[in-house]
Amino acid sequence: MLPRPAIGTVAAEARVSIKTVSRVINNSRRVTAATREHVMGVIRRLNYSPSPTARRLAGHRSYLVGLPFDNPYASYVTEVQSGSLASFRDANYQVVMHACDARSPQIADEIHLFVDSVRVDGVILTPPLSDMSAVIAVLESEAIPFVRIAPSTRSDPARSIFTNDREACAAMTRHLICLGHRRIGFVIGQLDHAGTVQRYNGYCDGLETSGLNRSVRLVAQGDGTFESAVECTRRLLEKPSGTLPTAIVASNDAMAAGVLTAARMMGIAVPDELSIAGFGDEPLAAQMWPRLSTIRQPLHAMAQQAATLLMRQLRGETADHLQQPPRLIESTLVLRQSTAAARAP
Amino acid sequence: MTNATIHDVAAQARVSIKTVSRVINNVKTVQPQTRERVMRVIRKLDYHPNPSARGLGGSRSYLIGLLYDNSCAYYATGVLAGVLETCRAARYQVVLHPCDYEAPTLAAEISRNVRQSRADGVIVTPPLSDMRTVIDALEEQSIPFVRIAPAEHTNDLHCVFTNDRESCAKMTEQLASLGHKRIGFVVGNPDHAAVADRYRGYRDGLRACGLQLDKKLVVQGYNSYNSGAECGRKLLNLPAAKRPTAIFASNDEMAAGVLAVAHGMGLAVPEDLSVAGFDDVPLASQVWPALTTIRQPIPVMSARAAELLLRQLRGEPDDRSGHIVESTLTFRQSTGPAPNRNLVDRTRNGRLAKSIAAVQEESGE
């Protein structure tokens, strides 16, 4: 980042007091037109911009909230943007989108530049950014309020919105066991997303509470995409018939669609011979055939809550006020036609 | 723009400036009645918090607005990808302006939101890009804009569009060349002019192949999956001899609806029925069988739109070439040759296949 000229530099250059520069910046009426013109000239020449912290102290707001994101799923991005806008709308806040690459070593600088140049009042962080300490450190040092959506730990409850991925996946696994399934496969998603691990752990919990053993032969590692799930499923289903899974849970809906496609290509009937469950309840889930049993992730509601929480911070409500139990919005099972009772052996 | 200041609001509402500021910033310490009164005055005077106080250093905000209808949030996300790509290089950021295209206050809302965000210019997506009120509001406020896929684009320099009509004609011809004589069509939402335009392409295609337009094979959809399923049901419930052997839907979501209905009726796709869509959204390759469709290069179009807008903002002369981005036909597994109507043959082959399987099973295979 370029070094930013300080307000003192502007004052010295314009041969006025710092107080006067500040008055010009804040549009105070107690400055003569000539002085104002003169100071503005220097500000433009030096390309000076007041630090966001200073501006906030001075009571100025941009009414812009930053939504940086690195998420390959259009449905995720769409739900978060529409959910947060539903809250912001009435308060006249607007959302500035910023696509970034969380794996870039410059991610913290990039977020810094973004919040600085747009002069956002606050930021909403989505996974995987909501778990990145470098990003959080930048926002804290700039004193920019932020809220984290679905961080992997419960260590920052005052600024986080949680959901229960893990419990929901355990519940789906138990549901399949209740339907008589004993060999339940799992297709793991993209590993650098915290939710992926939670979902897999939930599957393991579900097996364990029902007294079933985990088997590595029933688990495949995908990368979150439809195509990877097609490959994984082929491997899971190309086994001697006695060891085949009768149900497969996928880490997201696009992957569940991949499982379905692989099953169809191999001539396996769904749900008669194979039950399939996804995660997310994206529009896709209800648009495939058979319609997908899945877990509804309350993204819209989470984003809406995140926006509400952020606005409370922006209004200056104290941290004490914000100390409440973790804000948890539950994921729920949505049972459709892709899951059914296991066929009698 | 009006010039009402916070001082005018305070004077009219008989409160201090601090109170007005508290109302604007939604601070809770303001009495509800006071709040009401101040808000009334704010509306009456059409007061907006002074934008120049919100950003310094010249007139540019380096923000570009994306204007879209709420019901098209997914489409907007696709557009966003292309816009962000272009803006990134130019150090512009993108601010969202969702709206409701059926709201009576649409024009006023757009003016207010764009003014408040201080966006330097906006990109207008369908169906807003076809609405006179929207365009008038932007022109009135002197807000630079570029439209994506408006239906009428012949005499407008500031828009990017694709060849919906020609590519739909081609798809129809392709289906006809596969032997389909009864090709059904699911029309798009009439409010989305470019989508509705695809119907004309279908008719062009029929004409080019010497096929008669049969109105019974044309049904009105509304762009959603559910409306597509509804249309699919109507078409596939026609008596067998009149039923279409191929259905072409104006977008992928509606095509997915048709596909689901076909599965539900036990029709094999593409053996009994070919299905084609338009757009090539991710859904198209995630349904079974993967959809034959027309790839509308939304990110390319929106990146081009952002480029045009940035050129306008820089005051560069308009370049007339390259505002059209071509759509291309993408063939996957949902289309195939028209079914052989010789049912006796098909049954015999079916039985044959079954008996072979039975023999294999008996031999322990």
Q: For B204-243, write each residue's pLDDT tens digit.
A: 999 999 999 999 999 999 999 999 999 999 999 999 899 9
Distance CA A42, CA A20 (A): 13
* pLDDT at residue A215, rounded to an integer: 92
The whole-number pLDDT of residue A214 equals 92
Query: Which residues of chain A have a CB within 8 Å of the CB of B57?
Result: 43-44, 47-49
What is the distance in angstroms between the Cα of B76 and the nearest Cα belonging to chain A? 8
CA distance B340 to chain A (A): 23
DSSP assigned state of B10: H
Residue length, chain A? 345
E-strand ranges in A33-157 read 64-69, 94-99, 122-125, 146-149
Of A44, A95, A284, the CB nearest to B283: A284
What sign does the dihedral A122-A126-A131-A135 (CA atoms) show? Answer: negative
Closest to A97 measured CA to CA, from B73, B57, B291: B73
Q: Determine the distance in angstroms separating the CA of A208 from the nearest CA of chain B, rounded to an integer.
A: 32
Say if B52 is an interface residue toward chain A (CB within 8 Å).
yes
Percentage above 90 pLDDT, chain A: 59
Look at residue A1 in the predicted model and tell me its pLDDT. 36
Contact assignment for B84 to A97 by CB distance below 8 Å: yes
B345 pLDDT more than 70:
no
Q: For residue A77, how far is the Cα from the chain centroid? A: 8
Q: Is the pLDDT of residue B57 over 60?
A: no
Question: What pLDDT, on a 0 to 100 scale, did the predictor assign at position A242?
Answer: 77
End-to-end C-alpha distance for chain B, whole angstroms: 82
Residue B225, both tokens: 């999956």
The distance of B174 to chain A (nearest Cα, Å) reads: 25
Write down the pLDDT at residue B200. Answer: 95
Among A245-249, B22-26, B315-319, the range with the most confident prediction by mean pLDDT is A245-249
| Predicted pLDDT of residue B277 | 98
- Mean pLDDT of chain A, nearest integer: 88
B112-152 tens-digit pLDDT: 899 888 899 999 999 999 899 998 999 888 899 999 988 77
Tokens 């669609």 locate to A257
Per the CB < 8 A criterion, the answer to whether A217 and A183 are in contact is: no
Whether B94 contacts chain A with CB within 8 A: yes
Structure token pair of residue A135: 């990003």
| pLDDT tens figures, B287-296 | 999 999 999 9
Mean pLDDT throughout A5-26? 79
Considering A92-106, A217-231, A307-321, B16-30, the range whose residues carry the highest mean pLDDT is: A217-231
Which comes out higher in pLDDT, residue A43 or A244?
Answer: A244
Average pLDDT of the residues of chain B: 85
Alpha carbon of A212: minimum distance to chain B alpha carbons (Å): 32
Place of tokens 């997201």: A252
Confidence band of A123 (pLDDT split at 50, 70, 90): very high
Confidence of residue A45 (pLDDT cuts 50, 70, 90): confident
What does DSSP assign to residue B278?
S
Residues of chain A in contact with residue B53, where contact means CB-CB under 8 angstroms, are 26-27, 60
Q: How far is A168 from chain B (nearest CA, A)?
A: 24
pLDDT at B26: 59
A214: left (phi over 0), alpha (psi -120 to 50) or beta: beta
Cα A6 to Cα A12, A15, A43, A54, A293: the distances in Å are 10, 14, 10, 11, 58
Task: Give one word for B113, left, alpha or beta, with left for phi > 0 and alpha for psi -120 to 50.
Answer: alpha
Question: B288–A260: do the CB atoms touch at under 8 Å?
Answer: yes
Residue with tokens 């009435």: A90
Mutation pick from B39, B56, B83, B111 vs chain A, by most beta carbons of A within 10 Å, is B56
Interface of B with A in 290-309 (CB under 8 A): 290
Q: A–B: how many Cβ contacts below 8 A? A: 132
**Is the distance from CB of B309 to CB of B83 less than 8 angstroms?**
no
> Hey, is the C-beta of B76 within 8 angstroms of any chain A C-beta?
yes
Strand-pairing partners, residue B93, are B63
State the pLDDT at residue B2. 47
In this structure, of B152-156, B167-171, B196-200, the range with the lowest mean pLDDT score is B152-156
Which region among A56-70, B178-192, B280-294 has the lowest average model confidence (pLDDT)?
Answer: A56-70
Q: What per-residue confidence (pLDDT) applies to B1?
A: 41
The pLDDT, as a whole number, for residue B96 is 93
Report pLDDT for B49.
57
Q: Is B73 within 8 Å of A119 when comparing Cβ atoms? A: no
Distance from the B347 Cα atom to the nearest Cα atom in chain A, whole angstroms: 20
pLDDT-based confidence at residue A324 (cuts at 50, 70, 90): low
Interface ipTM: 0.78
Measured between beta carbons, the chain B residues lying within 8 angstroms of A49 are: 56-57
Q: Inter-chain contact A49–B88, Cβ cutoff 8 Å? A: no
Which residues from A are below 8 Å from B47, CB to CB?
Answer: none
Residue B347 confidence (pLDDT):
41
The DSSP string of A263-303 is HHHTT--TTTT-EEE-SB--HHHHHSSSPPBEEE--HHHHH
> A65-105, pLDDT tens digit by residue?
999 998 777 888 899 999 999 999 888 899 999 999 888 88
Of B63-67, B178-182, B309-313, the poorest mean pLDDT is in: B309-313
A78/B76 Cβ within 8 A? yes
A85 to B54: CB separation less than 8 angstroms, yes or no = no
Yes or no, beta carbons of B282 and A47 under 8 Å apart:
no
Q: Tell me whether residues A226 and B286 touch, CB distance under 8 A.
A: yes
Most A CBs within 10 A among B68, B71, B96, hence the mutation to make, goes to B96
Q: Which of residues 225-254 of B touch A (CB under 8 A)?
A: 225, 253
Contact assignment for B21 to A59 by CB distance below 8 Å: yes
pLDDT given for residue A4 in this prediction: 56
Give the per-residue pLDDT at B365. 36
Residue B261 has pLDDT above 80, yes or no: yes
Question: Which residue has better confidence, B226 or B318?
Answer: B226
Q: Tell me the nearest-neighbour CA distance from B35 into chain A, angstroms.
A: 13
Q: Choose the mutation target among A42, A64, A109 for the interface with B, i.e. most B CBs under 10 Å.
A: A64
Q: What integer is the mean pLDDT of A113-129?
A: 91
CB contact (8 A) between residue A96 and residue B80:
no
Question: Model confidence at B354, in pLDDT bands (50, 70, 90)?
Answer: very low
- pLDDT tier at B20 (50, 70, 90 boundaries)? confident
Among A24-33, B1-10, B74-83, top mean pLDDT goes to B74-83
State whether A91 and B288 contact (CB < 8 Å): no
Which of A289, A312, A317, A337 best probes binding to B when mutated, by most B CB atoms within 10 angstroms? A289
Distances, alpha carbon B257 to alpha carbons A279, B249, B302, in Å: 21, 9, 27
With an 8 Å Cβ cutoff, is B51 touching chain A? no
Contacts of B52 in chain A (CB under 8 A): 27
B221 vs chain A: nearest CA distance in angstroms?
Answer: 16
Which pLDDT score is estimated for A113?
A: 85
Proportion of chain A above pLDDT 70, given as a percent? 90
Residue B194 has pLDDT above 90, yes or no: no
Tell me the chain B residues in contact with residue A254 when contact means C-beta distances shorter than 8 Å: 282, 286
- According to the model, what pLDDT value does residue A84 have? 95
What is the per-residue pLDDT for B17? 79
What integer pLDDT is reported at residue B51 of this predicted model?
Answer: 41
3-state per-residue secondary structure call for A34-63 = HHHHHHHHHHHHHCCCCCHHHHHHCCCCCC
d(CA A87, CA A92): 9
Higher pLDDT, A26 or A153: A153
Instruction: Give chain B positions within 8 Å (CB) of A94.
Output: 95-97, 113, 116-117
Contact call for A97 and B253, based on CB within 8 A: no
